[in-house]
Amino acid sequence: MKKKLKTSSEKCIGCEKCMMVCSKLYFKKEEPMLSAIRVQAGAAGNDAGFTLSVCDQCQRCVQECPVLALTVSKQGVVMLNKSLCINCLACVAACPSGVMRLHRDVLTPFKCIACDACVKECPADALEIVNEEI
């Protein structure tokens, strides 16, 4: 099983509450670029819509990490141990969805750990935590 944040971009209204709650929770400030989930205006085939992007726990980054700082929890969530990370950013490069995040003020990459804080705040029911069979 893997636990992940499932997104429904078609429901997104672009309020960006998810980004604010995520950055506030993990970096103590409301800064969209410090959020593990991102809302972008414009969706494929629908210029008026929004696209949500976030880690789907595919584990590709885990294989790339040279210091085993990335591990998979029992629930199937990819976790980064910051104390082990040597900031090489191989995981950022390896991520097929571009959702291992990097910010100039933070040396260590960051990602969604399916904590569900954003799910509770989303007014459009565009986010949910699911458990998927692998």
Partner 1 sequence: MAAQAKDVQALKAKHTLLKEYAYTPRPVLRGYNMRTLYINVDTLEIREKPVTDEMRNKFVGGKGFDLKLLWDAVNENTRWDSPENEICIATGPIGGNTNYPGSGKSIVTTISPQTAIPIDCNVGGHFGPYLKFSGFDALEIQGKAGQDVIVFIDGNLSKIQLFTAPDEAVDSHILAHQLHEMFAANEREKQHVSVVSAGSGAEHSWIGCLNFSYWDKRRKAVRLKQAGRGGTGSVLRNKRIKALVVKYSGLTGKSNQPVDLETLQKTGLKLHREVIALDDKQCKMRSIGTAHLVEIMNDYDLLPVKNFRYGQHPEAVKLASWIWKDFFTQNMPDGCWFGCTMSCAHAVDDFELKTGPYKGQKVIVDGPEYETAAGCGSNPAIFDPRAVIEINFYCDTYGVDTISFGTMTAFIMDCYENGILNRERTGGLEITWGNWEATLEMLHQIGRGEGFGLIAGKGIQYMQEYFVKNFGADAQFLQDIGMQGKGLEQSEYMSKESLAQQGGYYLTNKGPQHDEAWLIFMDMVNNMIPTFEKKAEALHYFPMFRTWFGLQGLCKLPWNDVEPADNAKHDEPNKVPEHVDNYLAIYKAITGEELDRAGLIRQSERVYNFQRVFNIRMGKGLRANDIPPNRALGPVTEEEYESRAERYDKALKEKQNIDPAGKSTAEKLKLLLAYRQQQYEGLVDAVYKRRGWSRNGVPTVEHLKTIGMDLPEVLATVKKHL
- Name the residues that contact partner 1, by CB under 8 A: 63-68, 86-90, 92-94, 102, 104, 107
Cβ distance to partner 1 smaller for residue 3 or 101: 101
Cβ distance to partner 1 smaller for residue 89 or 124: 89
Cβ distance to partner 1 smaller for residue 93 or 130: 93
Distance CA 115, CA 31 (A): 18
- Shortest CB 108 distance to partner 1, Å: 8
Cβ distance to partner 1 smaller for residue 41 or 93: 93
Is residue 18 within 8 A of residue 121, CB to CB? The reply is yes
- Shortest CB 115 distance to partner 1, Å: 25
| E strand or H helix at 17 | helix 17-27
- Shortest CB 10 distance to partner 1, Å: 30
> Exposed, middle or buried: residue 11 (CB in 10 Å: 0-12, 13-18, 19+)?
middle
- Shortest CB 46 distance to partner 1, Å: 28
> Exposed, middle or buried: residue 54 (CB in 10 Å: 0-12, 13-18, 19+)?
buried
